[in-house]
Amino acid sequence: MLRPLDLRHVISPGLRDLIELANTHDFDRVQEQVRNLHGCTRPVSLHGWTITTDQTTKEVIRSYRSEDEPTGRLLTTCGNRRASRCPACSRVYAADTYHLIKAGLSGGKNVAETVRDHPRAFVTLTAPSFGRVHRNTDSAGKPRRCRCGTQHADDDPALSTPLNPATYDYAGAVLWNAHAGQLWARFTTYLRRALAKHFGITQKALNAALRVSFAKVAEYQKRGLVHFHAVIRFDGPDGHTTPPPAWATFDVLKAAVGLAVERARLTVESDAIGERVIAWGRRFKVDPITALGDGELTDARVAEYTDAKVAGYIAKYATKNAEGAGTVDRTLMCRPCAGRGYVPGPSRLPNRCADCHGTGQAEPIKDLPVQQHVRQMIRTAWDLGHLPEFAELKLWKWAHMLGFRGHFSSKSRAYSTTLGALRDVRRAWRLAQAEAARTRAGHPTTDETTLVTASSWTYLSSGYRPGEELLAAQVRHDIAHTQRLKQEGLVPA
């Protein structure tokens, strides 16, 4: 039996906890659990058990109890897609998104390789202007002097902020972000209508001959507005397994996108700010994806779009949040009162929330470490969210996102595989590795069709113990060091 440790002389909580972990009965297992997280920033702690039995022989094939762990709990990755929250898990999400997008462009992952011969386009849709902003380039991307008379450097924080904040339409900008997801849905509807009109047939006849598949990702511009990058592909009526009709060409797709951009719009009415029309900006791009190849797409204005470049570009922004616009990556809504500023009292009368002092804000907007332009968009979203006509938008909940409430990445059902399918493949591979280890150990092989798994898990907490955090920091350092050596060609990639 291990003697209790007297660590009162160790000042650092992390070091003290690490010594306690090292004094457990299996410190190697503690290190193994942390290594298996591959640098996850905020893992999830679970308590429970799982057991897999063969229904034919009643033999227990696999069993596990978190109580047997040195720390009494199981650590699993958080799975957060946001790079600002967990770089390790976001890299896995980006890799899955890359394969999902690339499979829809060149085949694989149960997608027919003939899709590379289908008409494919890389489409960029932007928001309209809500007021003049500081710029250092013209519409063609060439350097120019700003209207304020200054030649701004590329890292000038004034870029993309309003020239005259007093006349900038902040309410319109926030409402556009809030309805961007609905506008995209309206765009896909009008795209199919535009195609039917172009060919002079009904939408029912169009659906019987042609299927439009897509995948898109949202990206924040510096001015705080989202725009969309999308891959749009023509398929036959049965999806990627059948070729589209010969008359469904890229030129037809390009013309239909232009018509859908022009016609897709929403009308928002409010007694406070009047009637607003939510529509796309005049600048949009439709480029063919015609080449196969590798590489990285760092600028959406390049001359040639390959399947790998487009997939990498979309996957990169699938892990981003609103940090590209300079905002914060956390909700500003006070959770105890849900942003209302009050909580029900003993007599069911509203009492002022003690956590936010009645403001509904987890932290005051005026104290956020952001630029004034971003602060004003956040404040506008917060104020609009408390108007009755915008209550269903819950803008106070999404104020830190500058009003945007939609999914950052989405796809049509028939575009390619799914993230869930990719995770299932990864899970099956791990089970196969476990079965191979059983075989090497001399255990008989099992028929997976006769196996039944029962389990029970309870959430405990999120995050590491202080000592585990030190171990995780070493794992992240080792991963970064290995990647740097691979980039420098010192070890095989």
How high does pLDDT run on average in the chain?
Answer: 89
Mean pLDDT of 302-313: 78
> What percentage of the chain exceeds 90 in pLDDT?
60
Q: What angle do CA 86, 89, 90 make, to 5 degrees?
A: 75
Mean pLDDT of 96-121: 92
pLDDT in tens, 7-48: 777 788 889 899 999 999 999 999 999 999 999 999 999 999
At residue 373, does pLDDT exceed 70?
A: yes
pLDDT in tens, 224-275: 999 999 999 999 999 999 999 999 999 999 999 999 999 999 999 998 888 9
Mean pLDDT of 315-332: 85
Q: Contact at 8 Å (CB) between 316 and 409? A: no
pLDDT for 318 equals 84
> What percentage of the chain exceeds 70 in pLDDT?
96
pLDDT for 400 equals 93
Radius of gyration of the chain (CA): 27
pLDDT for 408 equals 86
**pTM for the whole thing?**
0.85
pLDDT for 293 equals 59
Mean pLDDT of 72-99: 92
Mean pLDDT of 356-377: 92
At residue 303, does pLDDT exceed 90?
A: no
Mean pLDDT of 106-129: 93
At residue 297, does pLDDT exceed 60?
A: no
Query: Across-strand partners of 54?
Result: 451
Q: Contact at 8 Å (CB) between 408 and 421? A: no
Q: 470 Cβ partners below 8 Å, 6+ apart?
A: 14, 15, 18
> Which residue type occupies 299?
D
- Strands 451-462 and 44-54 come out as antiparallel
pLDDT band at 298 (very low <50, low <70, confident <90, very high): very low
Of 220, 239, 279, 232, the closest CA to residue 257 belongs to 232
Q: Contact at 8 Å (CB) between 373 and 165? A: yes
